[in-house]
Structure 1
């Protein structure tokens, strides 16, 4: 009779499961403290396009934001500042008339030119009156119009940035080739105009945004037609339709698609 190899209740974890656990841990280690970062969307901007300087990992209860041209805090280079408690925006000496500062710290620059290339610094004042800052960089490419004449009728298109969004990240649905003088924009979930699926609409003449039934609290509609969705989840995957109302009251529409891959998660189990 062979002796027992060990206690009957003892079980071994297969090596392939251990290797899987180790490999997943090498890909992801949660940060202890998230640092303020600036993301330029899109990373490379052609002359005449609009860009967003997105602020990530902001403090939970900021008192104020301020954006500056360059890599240091210089009042002569202040673009704009925003007070959270009063919801008031103040323009600075470096404001060109094309910048918009939003309550979430995002800076929109419209119709960028080569002169806009350079560094931009965000100063955040926290509720304890401490400050933190971070610098982002904008690269403006020469316009392709110098070498190429576009067709007379360009159709609107939707670009998802980034094309694949990890769960918890932010994405932009960028609208290209929009009509010159739009009256309004409206974004819907799905591939058709359905008021029950309205996320948000924007009236250009009144600069007013209206949230719809499909607004989750994470979407921001910008004056250039771009839709920002923050902290995306698997439930956000699908189609999004932009409806544009032109100055002659005619409409045009275009559909974009959002793909949010599953995030890598590891849960320990006993075997």
Structure 2
């Protein structure tokens, strides 16, 4: 026997125990335990094993714990080997293993503390599959374990990429059914006697890697890995547009599918899958649709849809209007040479189809000279210069009734489009006197 010293233990400190082949010496790094250590070499299928026996200061000295480490050596047929990564780095003349103190589980029926240990896994039989395979948030999920072998003493579940105390969900003693929650326990997990893990009412935050670590009666550990993906029940997305009234071949259409969920996105046009010619303008994540020089045939109802394997949600439609490109606007008096007492219409050709408002002026385009204005509602209102003989039309034309000689002169038309584009055009009206 060899005395390890009287220093106080440090919970959670790392232990490193090594046994040199052909030697009875051993080395212990760190100070988590005090007690006695013995090293024996026991043939096990042609392999050498190092057996460490120690006790925690607060427990009865006749309670011991054994930890076996695999050493290189001839392997009999059917014997299990350590993971490839571990075996590749083992020296041919040295058998080494490391243990880490984990969570201490108090057993009510005993006066001792069980110190969980993390050893190198010696098998790859354990597999973990979620049931159901594609759970939605709120479902009850079981991480079912396959491939458990031999008589097992305990299970430890971790929700994280490594065997770390921070990721420990719960530890379970098979013989007593005692379960001890760990730092990563959310209040929804429960370990089954067969080693499987139940999660009640899963949330998206439960997604990730899960690790099961088992301990058997030979104090060997094995680990199995599984992955859980919890899918959201998706809320309805919203389509936002830079503008809903555009001019063909001039304006750019930009639609954005707004959704708080990182789900896949599909676009629909008039209730059908988006035509490929438009689909080419999608962003890499599919959430932004851009179309430069929009075409008349692309006017219609647009929707986006977010989806995952368990949920689908489509937005309300947003309607897009595309106007034909405006030709050069002109004003033509009809008749071209009206006489005093006649009516004349200042006919506008090529007015903007995305018109918002317009105004007619007799003389310069200033408020005192305004004859009338056309509102977005389609109605027109008289201005300060209105004589009661002027009438406005939806196509921007102006009718002047019962001309007199003072009506002759310059007339100005001002238009404003839905995009805020302003254009001013003028015409000279001549009124011939009666003969």
Q: Same fold (TM over 0.5)?
A: no
**Which is richer in helix?**
1
Flag the structure with more relative contact order, 1 or 2, with Cα contacts below 8 A and sequence separation at least 6. 1
Greater gyration radius: 2
